[in-house]
Amino acid sequence: MPEIIYREAIKRGLEEALERDPRVFMMGEDIGEYGGAYAVTDGFLEKFGPERIKDTPISEQAFMGAGIGAAAAGLRPIIELMSISFSLVAFDQIVNMAANLRYMSGGQISVPMVIRAPTGAGVQLAATHSQSFETWLAEVPGMKVVCPSNSYDALGLIRSAIKDNNPVFVAEPALLYGAKAEVPDEYYEIELGKARIARAGSNITLVSYGYGMRPVEAAADRLSMVGVSAEVIDLRSLNPLDMDTVVASVQKTHRVVVVDSARRTGGIMAEVAAEVQQRAAEWLDGPVMRVGSVDVPWPYSHDLEQKVLTDSDDVLNAVSEGYGL
């Protein structure tokens, strides 16, 4: 299969939707003439015109509200945020409006919209531009949240997200935009809410998503060198959360480490750990071990940022501390 980079996979999915469905349009800051903060929409303005590719003022609350109204009226907007950190300006619209309208209208109003945003630290954007609020949004009923870790999943999930009749937040790890992976030319979709077993194993389960898959897979490689077989699970979707796949793996390996590249406190892995404890405690040979980035504001300094960000050493330390492997 051919390899394409992560941003090109996202771009392919967006382009397909714009070509196939006249109800689809895009809004966001600098997505038109500039081509997007990470070049995902480069060339779209020339191809689809200003009616479909709308550069917006610097007001996330305003264009998020406009997108919700457009979706409620029957269109299928795709909203791009320059950074997930800027979603804070529009949280009332996202959380109170987009996620609740279908419920509050008794199903009379749907909000079929996609919100996309780069997420996470590691690219030296400092404290106010390096947040990972997908972990917050995953708690909101009515809002689906996905965070793909590779080009294949990015394309399959964006296709499904655009077709969904609910609001879907697609968190795209900024560190992965240039990463390559194999993507087939044949059309495919990935169901929202289904985890992926990235590597089969028998001795321990490692769980993560998004950028967190990099340190997890590196740790699995290092464990294999000392005879430890790690099963690696990529959640892909944070809401809905596929706990059945995680629990089945824990019942097989009897050990688990859950890994978040976002901050450890309050992350989605706290929920995963609690569910594993409730549903599979009798299968465990030790504690559910949690790993996450350090609970400090994200530093601008490259060396400090790397020290704070979750890495494979953190994962291996948790494996050793919890299970002596």
Residues with a known catalytic role: 60, 129
Instruction: Locate 217 and state its tokens.
Output: 């897979």
Q: Tokens at residue 95, please? A: 């959380």
Tell me which H or E stretch contains 262.
Answer: strand 256-263
β 53-55/76-80 pair status: unpaired
How far apart CA 262 and CA 282 sit, in angstroms, is 29
The position carrying tokens 């996309």 is 116
Compute φ and ψ for 79, nearest 5 degrees.
-105, 125
CA distances from 146 to 64, 134, 174, 265, 323 (A): 19, 8, 14, 20, 30
Q: b/e per residue, 206-225, with b = 16+ CB within 10 A?
A: bbbbbbbbbbbbebbebbee
HSE toward the beta carbon, residue 275, CA cutoff 13 A: 16
Strand partners, 116: 80, 170
For the chain, what is the radius of gyration of the CA atoms? 20
Single-letter amino acid, residue 215? P
Per-residue CA distances from 302 to 79, 83, 179, 191, 261 (Å): 30, 19, 20, 36, 16
